[in-house]
Structure formats: C-alpha cells, structure tokens
Chains A and B, each alone.
Chain A
Amino acid sequence: GAVVSQHPSWVICKSGTSVKIECRSLDFQATTMFWYRQFPKQSLMLMATSNEGSKATYEQGVEKDKFLINHASLTLSTLTVTSAHPEDSSFYICSAIRGQGRSGGYTFGSGTRLTVV
C-alpha cells in the first residue's frame, strides 16, 4: 500500500531556531501533499497545500513566511518552521494523495511532534 514517510518523528528545539520536517512518498508520486497541525485535543487543521513545482497554497491565518513549504520533487515536500516559538509546539502531519482522493486516497505520514523550548 501507499507509504508516506515523515521525518523526524519528534524534535525539541530552542526558541528562535528553525526546524525542517520532511515528508516523502515512498512508493508513489505525489503531485499534491498537505500539511496539517494538531494541537492537543483539537482537530487536525490544514495549514497548506503543497504542489510539486509551484508555490504552496496557505490557509487563512497561516503565515507563509513562517512556515516555508518546498515541494521540489514528486516524492518530497518539506515544511520549515522558521524562528520557532513555544506556541509553535504542536503535532505536524503531512499527507499525500494517491489515486483518487475522493475514495479516501489520502495517506498520512506518521507525524512530527515539535516542542519549542
């Protein structure tokens, strides 16, 4: 089945530093990937849609200069949290579409738990 690898699984960083999270589709090409954020006991909130070879589309309220997304190949999208602050601490999950998204073709990465101290 479709596999999406996300790395790292967890990271602790100091306030003010940047953190890069990678999302790879291992056995399929993903022209579109999605980045979500989930705070404790809350829903997954879509941050941005990442399209291979073009600029990401950010959801309202998400700062594109703070959350840099690069989707340079059909198998890799990266999310960089720049100048991280404690309020950025969250669970970040990527997903990719394989085949027909409407049939539940989303595959999620295993998530990255970011803690900013």
Chain B
Amino acid sequence: RKEVEQDPGPFNVPEGATVAFNCTYSNSASQSFFWYRQDCRKEPKLLMSVYSSGNEDGRFTAQLNRASQYISLLIRDSKLSDSATYLCVVTSGTYKYIFGTGTRLKVLA
C-alpha cells in the first residue's frame, strides 16, 4: 500500500461547480498535512496546510480525519484557473514530505 494515495482523476468539472478530493495516508503517526498545487511542468506551490479543526481559505476548504486517516480538499465555485494537479502531502515526525501522486482537475468553460 502506498503511503499517500490519491485518485489521479482527471476530474472534469464545469466552471462554478464544487469539487472535492480525498487523500488517504497509511502512517497513523503522520503529523502534518498539506495540499499543494502543481501546474504542468512547474514546481509545486503550497495551497494550504490542513489542521485537525479544518480550515478555510476563500473558496478552498481542507479537512483532516485522523480516525479514518484521510484529508480532503473542497473547491467551491471552480474557476478555469483552478485547473491543475493537486498534491496531497504528509509528513511523519521529520521534515520529510511524502507526496501523493496528485489529482488532476480540469475546469471547463
């Protein structure tokens, strides 16, 4: 089993739609969780950290479920510019990041 698993997609959604991605992790000792965004042939950029209490940043909401060992990302009112690959990242006690394979999102006009 992979340490961090994501549905690779692609998720094709119309503009204005709400879309959600999940990411599961295998190490129950994982401590920190993040969502990164990666555009084609570019480096990943931090989208948001994921806290136990959940957090929201504009149209983006991240949730953590430690009991079931998954994190989620919800995007409301999708924009064309949201089209990208969304990477789930988990750390485990050190600064070592474990990346998921990413979920591709394509927002259609």
Same complex for A and B? Answer: yes
Write the residues of chain A forming the contact surface with B, with a CB cutoff of 8 angstroms: 32, 34, 36, 41-46, 49, 91, 93, 95, 97, 101-104, 106, 108-111, 113
Whether A91 contacts B97 in the complex (CB less than 8 A), given A101-B91, A102-B31, A102-B91, comes out as no
Q: Which residue of A lies closest to B32 (CB)?
A: A102
A46 to B102, CA, bound (A): 15
Total interface residues in chain B, CB < 8 Å:
22
28 pairs, A vs B, C-beta closer than 8 Å: A36-B99, A41-B101, A42-B101, A43-B99, A43-B101, A44-B44, A45-B99, A46-B96, A46-B97, A46-B98, A91-B41, A93-B44, A97-B95, A101-B91, A101-B95, A102-B91, A102-B95, A103-B49, A104-B32, A104-B34, A104-B46, A104-B49, A106-B95, A108-B43, A108-B45, A109-B43, A110-B42, A111-B41
Partner of A108 from B44, B100, B102 at Cβ < 8 Å: B44
User: Across the interface, which residues of A come within 8 angstroms of B8, CB to CB?
Assistant: 41
Residues of A within 8 A of B43 (CB): 93, 108-111
By beta carbon, the residue of chain A nearest B91 is: A102
Nearest opposing residue in chain B for A101, CB measure: B95
Complex Cα spacing A60 to B6, Å: 22
Residues B10-48 near A (CB distance < 8 A): 31-32, 34, 41-46
Q: How far is the CA of A104 from the CA of B46 in the complex (A)?
A: 7
Contacts of B31 in A (CB 8 A): 102
The residue of chain A having its C-beta at the shortest distance from the C-beta of B3 within the complex is A43
From the candidates B34, B91, B95, name the one contacting A32 in the complex (CB within 8 A): B95
- Taking a contact as CB atoms under 8 Å apart, the answer to whether B97 and A34 are in contact is yes
**What is B's interface to A at a CB cutoff of 8 Å?**
4, 8, 31-32, 34, 41-46, 49, 87, 91, 95-102
CB-defined contacts of A108 to chain B, threshold 8 Å: 43-45
A111 to B52, CA, bound (A): 31
> Which residues of B are found within 8 Å of A103, using beta-carbon distances?
32, 49
Q: Closest A-chain residue to B88, C-beta based?
A: A43
Q: Are B96 and A43 in contact (CB under 8 A)?
A: no
